Amino acid sequence: MLTNPGVAVSIARFHLRPLRRLAQAAGGAGLALDTAEVAPSGSTVHVRLPRLTDAPAWRSARLRNREAIEPFWVSTGRGWGSQHTDRAWAGHWLTARWGARLGTFLSVVIEVDGKFAGQCELRIEEHDRRGEAGIWLDAGLAAPGTALVAGRLVLAYAFGPLGLVRVAAPVSTENQRAARLAARLGFVREGTMAAYMTVGGQRRDHDLWAVTVDSWRP
């Protein structure tokens, strides 16, 4: 683990260069990767880049919320516990950093009142200025409006500094909670994709929800 703050800052800047170029090309003022907003419940929702030290909180939240997450999570063929080790988080952290360097993947941590409460990911097609989003939250920390605020912060970043023109979200036809969140964020259901992906160990249909920069209302 790095202990020199100067080295850590230099590495972060190096990995974020492509996203900076994408933001600059879109005329953005900079990367809003560390921002917060107060939810209707009064809780402070904060989105930021992941840290290596998030591993214990991430693992605890994922294991605690297995019943809510696993049925709609992409299957890997491995047990839920074996997917949530320190090594697994380190791999995710490296993937997020590398994706940021390439300008193809953004991963942010969602905190509620200073506690690790979930993640939002955005896979980016830089040449086409579009992305695909996914989100999960710890049910024990997700007060009313938390997911809405977190999603809104990420969309503001996507349509603002990143200059994307479209963000899509495939949602399992059985995941009504995610569908309601998508609708509240301004996404529109465009159709159903049969047997789109394997989640929870089963091949399932997914609805494609999408929002464009012209239709989104911050």
Per-residue pLDDT, 17 = 52
Phi then psi dihedrals of residue 184, to 5 deg: -70, -25
pLDDT band at 32 (very low <50, low <70, confident <90, very high): very low
Mean pLDDT to the nearest integer, 65-89: 92
Share of the chain above pLDDT 90, in %: 68
146 with 41: CB under 8 angstroms?
yes
Give the pLDDT mean for 66-89. Answer: 91
Could you tell me the pLDDT band of residue 158, with boundaries at 50, 70 and 90?
very high
Backbone angles phi, psi at 145, to 5 degrees: 90, -10
Q: What are the distances in angstroms from CA 81 to CA 77, 88, 90, 203?
A: 12, 10, 15, 22
> From start to end of 49-187, where are the E strands?
105-112, 115-125, 130-137, 166-172
Q: Is the pLDDT of residue 20 over 90?
A: no
Question: What average pLDDT does this structure show over 146-173?
Answer: 95
Distance CA 180, CA 194 (A): 20
- pLDDT, residue 10, reads 45
